[in-house]
Amino acid sequence: MMRRILSFIAYASVPVVINAVQISVDETAPSNPVFDGYVSYSIEFSSFPDFAGNNSRPNTFSENLLDNLGNIIGTKPYIRVGGNTQDYALYNASLSYGLNGTIDPKRSSDYPTTIFIGPSFFESYNTFKNTKFIHGFNLGLGGNRTSGWQTLLDTVLLACKALGGGKLFAWTYGNEPDLFSTSAQGPVRPPSWNEAEFVDQWLNGTRKIHELLEKNCPDMAKNGTYGYIAPSFAGVGNKLKAPKAWGEGINEDKNIKLFATHNYISGATSPGVTLQGTLMNHSMTKASVDAHIVEYDKVKAIDPAAPPLIFGETNSLYNQGRPGLSNTFGAALWGVDFNLYSASVGFKRVHMHMGTNYRYASWQPIATTKATIGTKAPYYGNIAVASFLSSPTSSSYPSQGQGQATVKHLPISSTPFLSAYAAYHSTGTLTRLIFLNMNSYNTTVSGEGLVPLPSGSLQRRPSVTFNFTLPSSFLDDKSKVVVKRLMANGTDAITGITWDGWSYNWELDEGRPVRLANVTRRSENEKVWVGDDRSDGGKVGFGVVVEAGSAAMVEFV
């Protein structure tokens, strides 16, 4: 009889197990790996100088946070510089600083809609080491205005010079052109705007970009380097449809590297949006992501050789998120669920969108009158995803050259507030499991994450036990089972968040990882074994207790 008794770190107060679910887990799975840098970012064009800095003042805080992810997953996040403001940006050669933006509250109180960039804007591409970028050119004004077209002619040279030396991954031309005729920030196309007109303007602009690259940066005009992410539509339900744009010939020049689409679960001011019902709801996330798979399958029916699928921009609630929802620990749990479900259905990379003062951002890069500099709750979800996907390092797995992870969704039909995933590496071998308990647990007044509830009013934190079995032979070459947890005081928390007892807060070491001595690390020696090989036909049973509003990753090493 095989008996694996692992020592146990006790809870400060033993959680009440209110439910248990049985998860079906396969020890192997067909390979369908994500791309390197799966955890990546999209940074608002007007915010890029804040996030990156410039030659004289690089933003080392952002660099530290990107390095953390690169150190875990093996590749630093790819950075897409774009968003709505890429289509407002005009070039001013005499501007002595990077960006001059004017906010019109009637259009948006969160970002400028009148923007001029100067030559030094492109210095921001120098500050992140070992990072690949996607630069966004202006189609919104560039496709139908003389000043916009001149901006394209002026900035291709500046962009290609700044992105030399292997920093370029791809270009984009236009952000969310499916909204150009209906944008709440002001339409830039007439109501008659359609897919054929879009494709005509897109081809005209991208061909001019290629011509300018051939003249000024010929190495970037070659097939191995030159390419775009497109069509970068805002979603699947807008006036312009991606399959029709594909049918109109958007990839006629075969220069689209990745099929990029955008997604937000809902809107910051949409009626009925709540943390539990909208974000911490696996059914909502699944339906939102699945709609893109339906669309992509239609594109594949038109072109079986269509490029791989990514989210070029995504986050929780459009219009930059809502305080008390998008900046909470519950949103971090949503981010884990969203990213891993996307990976399980075929998305190869996900760019989480951010901007200065944005409520859903993973970090605030500078201090402003609206927000303090700091690491925000969603970043911890990014760290958990990177840890789940990272290559195994134990002797059980022979080398680091195992490629990227394959993610498998493990369905739980009993409730929309639980989810589970398996990661497979090497030859499709199970390496990790992660379990999310997205049931709410609030510890602050009104769930706003600011004022703690009186200690006497706190309810005992409930939990769910996730049970699963594996063949006893699967553990023969494993020395231990490790559990790492994504934790906070509650789903409404906006501070005090940890991954496996680590903090990445600005105030501790400018975003570098710091082990917290006052946080129980329920990790390497935690007991998860609950059965033996005789009781279940040669299988070993496991049970992992996951408190409400938290996640636990099981790692076999």
Q: What amino acid positions are annotated as catalytic residues?
A: 195, 313
Answer whether 436's CB lies under 8 Å from 410's CB.
no
What are residue 258's DSSP bridge partners? 229
Query: E-strand spans in 201-349?
Result: 228-233, 256-267, 309-318
Say how far apart CA 287 and CA 511 lie, in whole Å.
34
Answer whether 328's CB lies under 8 Å from 494's CB.
yes
Q: How far is CA 533 from CA 4, 273, 460, 465, in A?
A: 10, 47, 35, 20
Cα–chain center distance at 322: 18
Say how far apart CA 121 and CA 270 lie, in whole Å.
35
Query: E-strand spans in 7-132?
Result: 16-22, 39-44, 79-82, 89-91, 99-102, 114-117
Main-chain dihedrals φ then ψ at residue 374, nearest 5 degrees: 165, 165
Helix/strand/coil for 303: coil
Say how far apart CA 232 and CA 234 lie, in whole Å.
7
Question: Structure tokens of 209?
Answer: 């970009």
Within 8 A by CB and 6+ apart from 455, the residues are none
Answer whether 73's CB lies under 8 Å from 38's CB.
yes
Say how far apart CA 294 and CA 304 lie, in whole Å.
14
- The total of other beta-carbon atoms located within 10 Å of residue 467's CB is 15
Main-chain dihedrals φ then ψ at residue 205, nearest 5 degrees: -70, -45
